[in-house]
Amino acid sequence: MQLDAMYQEIILDHYRNPHNKGLRDPHNAEAHHINPTCGDEVTLRVALTPSNGNGIDGSATISDISYDSMGCSISQASASVMTDLLIGRTVDEAMRTADAFTELMHSKGQGEPDEDVLEDAAAFVGVSKYPARIKCALLAWMAWKDATAQSLDKEKEGAS
Ligand code: ZN
């Protein structure tokens, strides 16, 4: 099927030429996640810029995401695609995108990805048919959620 071939090409492209790979500063928080069943690892950093002195909350802009990683093509490509999608968004927007991607990964191959929302991440719809690979696709997204939650917590501690 032509669509599958196109999606496969997108994944391979990101795997061969990952975007935003290599840890960068400044960053607000860092998270290290592993997927032991496949041997995938990611260390991921987020940098957030508060909107109008609001502090770091859901309206903060994701000014940077950088990462270092090793593992299978699915996990590596997913990290690259995610950084492209989320950098420049607000935390709230990015959380909605992450929820849409997580939902797609749990769709058992039945999901119909909204390409307007998910862009290249829509290419992972075929992965949702393979339970063992879903964690590969979600690894970087989990690390991003973790690092973002840490950034928000730090802000709360600082304010109290
Ligand atoms: Zn993997």
> Residue 56 C-alpha to ligand 1 middle, in angstroms?
32
- Listed in sequence order, the residues at least 6 apart from 143 whose beta carbon sits closer than 8 Å to its beta carbon are 31, 32, 33, 42, 43, 44, 67
> Residue 76 C-alpha to ligand 1 middle, in angstroms?
8
Please provide the average confidence, as pLDDT, over all residues in the chain: 94
- Is the pTM here over 0.85, yes or no? yes
Residue 158: what pLDDT? 72
> Residue 136 C-alpha to ligand 1 middle, in angstroms?
4
Categorize the per-residue pLDDT at 160 as very low, low, confident or very high, splitting at 50, 70 and 90.
low
> Residue 11 C-alpha to ligand 1 middle, in angstroms?
13
> Residue 53 C-alpha to ligand 1 middle, in angstroms?
40
> Residue 135 C-alpha to ligand 1 middle, in angstroms?
7
Longest dimension (CA), the chain: 56
> Residue 148 C-alpha to ligand 1 middle, in angstroms?
23
> Residue 38 C-alpha to ligand 1 middle, in angstroms?
5
Q: How far is CA 136 from CA 28, 50, 64, 87, in A?
A: 25, 31, 22, 21
Q: Architecture of domain 2-154 in CATH?
A: Alpha-Beta Complex (3.90)
Q: Is the pLDDT of residue 48 over 70?
A: yes
- Name residue 24's amino acid: R
Domain boundaries, the chain: 2-154
Tens digit of each residue's pLDDT (9 = 90 or more) over 81-91: 999 999 999 99
Per-residue H/E/C for the chain: CHHHHHHHHHHHHHHHCCCCECCCCCCCEEEEEEECCCCEEEEEEEEEECCCCCCCCCCCEEEEEEEEEECCHHHHHHHHHHHHHHCCCEHHHHHHHHHHHHHHHCCCCCCCCCHHHHHHHHHHHHHHHCHHHHHHHHHHHHHHHHHHHHHHHHHHHHHC
Categorize the per-residue pLDDT at 149 as very low, low, confident or very high, splitting at 50, 70 and 90.
very high
> Residue 47 C-alpha to ligand 1 middle, in angstroms?
26
Q: Is the pLDDT of residue 1 over 50?
A: no
> Residue 52 C-alpha to ligand 1 middle, in angstroms?
40
Categorize the per-residue pLDDT at 94 as very low, low, confident or very high, splitting at 50, 70 and 90.
very high
Can you tell me the distance from the alpha carbon of 83 to that of 102, in angstroms, rounded to the nearest whole number?
A: 15
Residue 154: what pLDDT? 84
